[in-house]
Structures are given as C-alpha cells and as structure tokens.
Chains A and B, each alone.
Chain A
C-alpha cells in the first residue's frame, strides 16, 4: 500500500484559499487518490477523488501532477466550518479498506 505524507497542521483565515499537499511517492498505477474530511467525534466524510490531472466538485479541487507522486487538495474561500482534519488516502485496487495516515489538522480563524 502506498504511504502518504501530509503536513500535520495548517492555519488559515476565513475567505482564503487553502491548499493541502500530500506526498505519495510509491503510488501504484491503478491507485486512486481520495481525500476525506473529519470533524471531531464524527465519521470521516468523502470530499473528492481523482486519478490524474484535475478534478473539481462543489466543495474542492484536486490537482494531481503527471507523475502522480503528490496531490493537492484546494479548498476555495474557507469558512470557520472547514476547521477539521483532512486525510489523503491512496486506494489499493486489490483491497477495499481505507488506510488513514496522519491527517492535516486545518484551523480556520475569523
């Protein structure tokens, strides 16, 4: 399973764009990159998933360079409610489990 490395914490202010980068140097050809968000005492929530280039949905964008050894989750104009832990996961095609590494604790200030 490919391991991921993310910053332990990040701070931002309301209205700013936040970019969280994740390294996954050993990503396999068939692996997808998935990001989850977790609020305290709640279950993780799927944010976005991608394989290469750029993916955008209503809450975030995911940028994946051609070598796929890293990915960047972009949250536009964050609000206080975006304060949470963000996990980058790399999916193993042969298993269905999610392997959570140490996520990034994002703190948004007013």
Chain B
C-alpha cells in the first residue's frame, strides 16, 4: 500500500540558510500535518492543512511557513535556520480532519543544521 513520502530523507544546512521539506500524502488523503521531533524529544505539532487551507497551527516558528498544493502535497519552508532546528521532521496524512482519524506518518526528514 502507498505510504506517505517525504523528501529529502536527509538534509544538511548551515546556520542562516533556508530549507524546503516536501511531503506527498497517501492518495485520497486531503489532510496533511507537520511535526518536529528534536533529539530525545517527543513529536511536536507544527501545522496542518485541509483541502489546501491551513487548518491548525502549533508551535511553528515565524521563520517557518508551509502550504498545501492543489495535488495535496505539502512543503515546509524554513528560513534563517538555527542550530536548534536540527531535528526529525515528520509529515502525516489522513482522510479528513476528524481527530478520530488515524494519522499515517512518513519516514521523516532528518535536518542537521551546522
């Protein structure tokens, strides 16, 4: 079965650079979520989109922005990167916004900021 695809899987950047993470949800899933998981930390919700509109916002820094496109894929844009942004970034998708829905997580993008 098709799963959530994230690219790139690994990314190394320098401080103050920008990064773009991509997420391709499971076909027919219209909701996408982004989570950040720092080393030894629990996943933290960043932002979500439903039908290309932002549906909820969590602890996403102002330096980050995201959007969902017409084909439902999503991109997380990160600017002025800081050392503390080094983390695993997970994208998840679900068929709808109901909190009862199971979220399917991708393999993650490991971002390292040097």
Nearest-Cβ distance from residue B7 to partner chain A, whole angstroms: 14
B55 near A96: Cβ-Cβ < 8 Å:
yes
Q: Which residue of A92, A98, A101 is within 8 Å of B103 (Cβ)?
A: A98
Q: A41-B108, A43-B92, A96-B50 are in contact. Are A49 and B42 (CB under 8 A)?
A: no
B74, CB-defined interface residue at 8 Å: no
Assembly CA distance A42 to B92 (angstroms) = 12
B100 near A101: Cβ-Cβ < 8 Å:
no
B99 near A87: Cβ-Cβ < 8 Å:
no
A95 near B99: Cβ-Cβ < 8 Å:
yes
Assembly CA distance A98 to B103 (angstroms) = 9
B77-107 interface mask toward A, CB cutoff 8 Å, 1 = contact, 0 = none? 0000000000010101010011111111111
B68, CB-defined interface residue at 8 Å: no
Q: Which residue of B44, B55, B56, B97 is within 8 Å of A100 (Cβ)?
A: B44
A43 near B56: Cβ-Cβ < 8 Å:
no
B58, CB-defined interface residue at 8 Å: yes
Residues of A within 8 A of B105 (CB): 42-45
Q: Which residue of B50, B100, B110 is within 8 Å of A91 (Cβ)?
A: B100
Q: Which residue of B4, B45, B104, B107 is within 8 Å of A97 (Cβ)?
A: B45
B32-71 interface mask toward A, CB cutoff 8 Å, 1 = contact, 0 = none? 0101000000111100101000011010000000000000
Give the nearest-CB partner of A101 in chain B: B42
A32 near B99: Cβ-Cβ < 8 Å:
yes
Q: Can you report 19 A-B residue pairs in the complex whose CB atoms are below 8 A from each other?
A: A32-B99, A38-B43, A41-B108, A41-B110, A43-B4, A43-B106, A43-B107, A44-B103, A49-B100, A87-B42, A96-B94, A96-B97, A97-B45, A97-B48, A98-B33, A98-B92, A100-B35, A101-B42, A103-B42
- B residues within 8 Å of A by Cβ? 4, 31, 33, 35, 42-45, 48, 50, 55-56, 58, 88, 90, 92, 94, 97-108, 110
